[in-house]
Amino acid sequence: MSFRIADTFTGSLAKLTGDEQKSGQTTVVYLQLCDLRNNIVP
């Protein structure tokens, strides 16, 4: 499985605090693993 993150996202992520970065990264991984069209949630 490949993950693709836009440069604009990583640039914005760098401006956040450590805790905010961790939350943002967790959310992105969660969204990439979820298939909401089929109601599949890890």
Distances (CA, A) of 32 to 24, 37, 41: 12, 12, 10
pLDDT score, position 20: 94
Q: What is the reported pLDDT for 10?
A: 85
In total, the chain counts a number of residues equal to: 42
One digit per residue, pLDDT tens: the chain, 42 residues? 566 677 888 889 999 999 999 999 888 877 777 766 666 655
What global pTM score does this model have? 0.61
The pLDDT value given to residue 23: 93
